[in-house]
Amino acid sequence: MSETQFDLVIRNARVATASDTFMSDIGIRDGVIEQLGRNLGEGKKEIDAAGRTVTPGGVDGHCHLDQPMPPPARMSDNFDTGTRSAACGGTTTVIPFAVQEKGQSLQSAVDDYHQRAAGRAHVDYAFHLIVSDPTPDVLTRELPKLIAQGYSSFKIYMTYDDLKLNDGEILDVLDTAKKNNALVMVHAENADCIEWLTKRLEAAGHTAPRFHSHSRPMLVEREATHRAIALSELIDVPILIVHVSGREAVEQIRWARGHGLNIFAETCPQYLFLSAEDLGGDHDYAGAKCVCSPPPRDKGNQEVIWNALTEGLFTVFSSDHAAFNYGGTDGKHPEGEEVGFRYIPNGIPGLETRMPLLYSEGVLKGRITVNKFVELTSTNAAKAYGLHPRKGTVAIGADADLVIWDEREITIQNTMLHHATDYTPYEGIALKAWPGMTLSAGQIVWDGENFFPRSGQGRFLQCDAPSLLPKK
Ligand code: DUC
Ligand code: ZN
Ligand code: ZN
């Protein structure tokens, strides 16, 4: 065996990165891309990718796995089933959230979350923090320490009673982020408006799942998005507005960009492929399967989100996977009971379907280039969350996290997915592509038909400062 033999060579690939598309072989050793070029030397194993596109593995910068919940709700996916599902859908890095309960230290939230992940992950992972209790100790000691230790991004909420921050608290968190070079992700919905509307709907007997969207109209997202932008402007620190659902929030972000503000934005598959109609009719409880926040809007808003993706308004495209079973005792339809929309856990599964949905309906339908696809699903998340260039690209020295795409007809069915959730909101959608192979650290974890477990081989990644902006 020659000294220079690679562990694996992928030959004749049409490699797409966020900036270029080129023909190359990919030589992999010890889980890392060691060489790119034509006619590379031998590999112990070889894969011929002739005629197929190879992209970096996806970086899903917004997903919720095994996140502690107020009972009886329980997330259906943990680090085992969530990363299994991610891998089979082409995602090789996940960044879920270590959530601080009010009164809890951030460190204990992080310690608990490491225990939940330990020995389970099939692909690499990092943690965002959710800051729900920004006490002086959290702001001046815990956050700076954790940021320096590799937790360089955190999500804050403007809604949900157990998580929401008031404007003063948001300013404190943004100020800490600025001083410590961290990135704040903002869930922008106006809590008081939602509560007021919810009570009014309940008083009128309107509690079916479809009224979830009536309790969270676009106005509540628009107002909170506007306020988050103003707070970020006041501190002069970039923020990332997560799960942007439609026209009104898009307009706020466009306005901010036009005024030179560094506002990053994320959208998710549910705002391209689901609509308020999927929440059902007045007497249709199955719509609970699509209850998430912000809610899916109408078809016109789907087009707004597509256009915003095309024109470059969005920085990242994430799943916001927050999966609950429909059946059973701890999900959307607990013990078969039709609970009011207020009590339906918010969130839908989407880790496995995120990449194929956008590749098929975005790239293959000509809405976005394959390079834009890579930027949105992988490169920009790696940059935003301090993992680039180890993650998010195909380059010498990067981890060999790769997807070889199969352009074939496939109809999404929950039975073919690998999460532990008993439904997919995308059931029946016909696609023209699916990952034909996913490699994590140079190892095949999905071959288009079979999943190859790597339990516990997924590594925890410490995140550097975000590299979306030049360093000051
Ligand atoms: N909304 C969130 O804010 N998080 C998880 C899922 C959801 O629908
Ligand atoms: Zn959110
Ligand atoms: Zn979320």
What contacts 260, CB < 8 A, 6 or more positions away? Answer: none
Pair 462, 126: CB distance under 8 Å: yes
Element (H, E) at 37: strand 32-37
Residues in contact with 42: Cβ distance below 8 Å, sequence separation at least 6, in sequence order: 2, 5, 6, 9
Q: Which residues of the chain have pLDDT under 50?
A: 1-2, 472
| The predicted structure's pLDDT at residue 468 | 86
- The length of the chain in residues reads 472
Mutational test site, ligand 1, from 64, 289, 324, max ligand atoms within 8 Å of CB: 64
Q: Which atom of ligand 1 is nearest to the CA of 242?
A: 3
Q: Which residues pair with 25 in a beta bridge?
A: 37
Cα of 113 to ligand 3 centre, how many Å?
Answer: 16
Helices first, then strands: H and E counts in the chain: 14, 22
Using DSSP's 3-state secondary structure scheme, residue 134 falls into coil
**Residue 158 · residue 224 · CB < 8 Å:** yes
Testing ligand 1's pocket by substitution, the residue of 64, 346, 421 carrying the most ligand atoms inside 8 A of its CB is 346
pLDDT at 375: 98
What local confidence, expressed as pLDDT, does residue 1 receive? 44
Ligand nearest to the CA of 270: 1
Q: Is 36 exposed, middle or buried (0-12, 13-18, 19+ CB in 10 A)?
A: middle
Q: Which ligand is nearest to the CA of 62?
A: 3
Q: What separation in Å is there between the alpha carbon of 15 and the centre of ligand 3?
A: 31
What residue ranges line ligand 1, CB within 6 angstroms?
64, 187, 292-293, 320, 322, 346-347
Which numbered ligand comes closest to the C-alpha of 187?
A: 2
Residue nearest to atom 1 of ligand 1 (CA): 293
In this structure, what are the phi and psi dihedrals at residue 265, rounded to the nearest 5 degrees? -145, 150
What per-residue confidence (pLDDT) applies to 4?
73
Q: Which ligand minimizes its atom distance to the CA of 244?
A: 2
Question: From the CA of 187, how far away is ligand 2's center (Å)?
Answer: 5
424 CA from centroid of ligand 3 (Å) = 17
Give the β-pairing of 410-411 and 430-431: antiparallel
pLDDT (tens digit, 9 = 90+) per residue, 106-136? 999 999 999 999 999 999 999 999 999 999 9
- Looking at residue 422, what is its pLDDT? 98
Most ligand 1 atoms within 8 A of CB, residue of 69, 320, 348 to mutate: 320
pLDDT of res. 3 = 58
- Pairing verdict, β 183-187 and 153-157: parallel
Atom of ligand 1 nearest to the CA of 346: 8
The per-residue pLDDT for range 255-266, each reduced to its tens digit, is 999 999 999 999
Cα of 233 from ligand 1 centre, angstroms: 25
Q: Quick one: which of 341, 334, 321, 337 has its CA closest to 421?
A: 321
* Nearest-CA residue for atom 3 of ligand 1: 293
Cα(159) to centroid(ligand 2), Å:
9
pTM confidence score: 0.98
Ligand 2 centroid–CA 347 distance in Å is: 9
Distance 32 CA to ligand 1 centre (A): 34
CA–CA dist 157, 373 (Å, integer) = 28
Q: Residue 470 has what pLDDT?
A: 60
For residue 303, report the phi and psi dihedrals to the nearest 5 degrees: -65, -40
Ligand closest to CA 347 = 1
Whether the Cβ atoms of residue 167 and residue 157 lie closer than 8 Å to each other: no
**Residue 7 is inside which H or E element, if any?**
strand 6-16
